Amino acid sequence: MTLEYGMFKSEFPKLEFVTPAVFRERYKKQELPLFDVIISYSSLEHSGLGRYGDAINPWGDILTIARVSCVSSPDAKLLIGVPVAGVDRIEFNAARYLSRTLISSRTLIPELNQDILVEELIMKHELLSRSKSVQKKEPKLKVK
């Protein structure tokens, strides 16, 4: 299952796209399974910024993780990919850019103590981000 703000249809029978409204309704009706693996890549940094129809909330990323925990099995694995920057910043309403300091101190996942894995993922994301920016220069969002 994939949670999306847009309306998509999968050609694969075991892959389903649902909107936050549908997800919420299924949760209320207790029709959702507990998930063993949650993957969020290039998504959390947008939570709470209103860009995709969600409510503006400075704690949107943390609330999203809290919501994920409600539908996760006790031994669930969580993989998160977010943009990493030297200095924390928000480019409203595009995305949050988190520094290594904020990622390691942020209480998104209090029990996370796999620092080596986190460092490795951060480095891979930085390399991927660098290679994408070299391939295609995108204009910066300017707020007036």
pLDDT single digits (tens) 98-126: 776 666 555 444 444 444 344 445 555 55
Q: Is residue 40 part of a domain?
A: yes
Q: Is residue 105 part of a domain?
A: yes
Evaluate if pTM is beyond 0.85. no
Q: Is residue 44 part of a domain?
A: yes
How many residues appear in the chain? 144
Q: Count the domains in the chain.
A: 1
Q: Is residue 22 part of a domain?
A: no
- Helical spans, DSSP H, in the chain: 20-28, 60-70, 100-105, 115-135
Q: Is residue 116 part of a domain?
A: yes
**Domain hosting residue 88, numbered range:** 33-135
pLDDT computed for residue 121 by the predictor: 52
Q: What is the mean pLDDT of the chain?
A: 75
> Cα angle at 71 between 12 and 76, to 5 degrees?
85
Q: Is residue 72 part of a domain?
A: yes
Chain centroid, CA 94 distance in Å:
13
84-91: average pLDDT: 83
pLDDT computed for residue 42 by the predictor: 84
Q: Is residue 82 part of a domain?
A: yes
**CA pair distance 70, 53, nearest whole angstrom:** 22
Q: Is residue 48 part of a domain?
A: yes
